Structure formats: structure tokens, C-alpha cells
Amino acid sequence: MTVEDLDEEDAQLVRMVNTLRAQLQGQRIDPRIVAALDLFGSEDGSYERGGATYSVDNGGFDVSVSWGADPNRADRTLYLMGDTLLFVAKGDGEEVEERLSIHDAVANTFQLVELSESLNS
């Protein structure tokens, strides 16, 4: 898929994700976030990497990464849905969510560093 094949709104989103990927070079960002950004816009499918399952749907505009201590039941999932990163952690009967828009991450990559720390806590 090329940016020229997309409508203006989707093309702008792809450009923002590409800008964010470039800004993250050399920063300490969780590799699952980087991989999700790399898979954004790719062909639909599922992939296994480093103990995590990556799924791409909706023509590359929905990416999810699932992992956990039990490989048969993920308790952590990172979603890249359109212009939003959503991290969901489940445990002890509760669910915690953290959201970050791609626009906010481009404006302040430190927020993505904080999300990276959450993924590993």
C-alpha cells in the first residue's frame, strides 16, 4: 500500500506513523511498540515474534500485540487502532487501560517512553 492509494485522512495517518517511527530512532522504546508501528499499513495476517503474537487487520490499520507469562493466554495487549495506541493489562480480576494518540506521541515522544515503561511493569 502506498500513501497515494489512500484517501487524505488515511494518508495523513500513515505519514504521522512514519514520522513517529523516525522520531523513535535511538530512544528506549519497547520493541513491541516499534514492531506494531512497523506493521502498520502492512498486509493482514498473524505473526509470532519474541514470545508475542502480532495481528494485522483492516487493511493494515489495526495492529495488535498480545503477550503474557502464560503463552496460551495473553494478559497484556497493545492495540494500534487507527490513530490510537491502547495498552490493556488484565490481572487479579481487574483491567487497566492506557491510551495515547499518535498525534500526541508525535508531539511528545516522552509519552511513548512512559507507555513503554508501563508495558514492562
Q: pTM higher than 0.85 for the full model? A: no
Query: What is the reported pLDDT for 101?
Result: 93
Q: Is the pLDDT of residue 1 over 80?
A: no
Q: Average the pLDDT over each of 1-5, 73-77, 89-93, 108-112 and give the range with the smallest value.
A: 1-5
Grid-cell match 514492531, residue found: 35
Distance (Å, whole) CA 16 – CA 3: 11
Distance (Å, whole) CA 18 – CA 38: 9
The pLDDT confidence band at residue 92, using thresholds 50, 70 and 90, is confident
Closest to 36 measured CA to CA, from 10, 68, 64, 12: 64
The residue type at 46: S
Percent residues over pLDDT 90 in the chain: 33
Distance (Å, whole) CA 3 – CA 68: 34
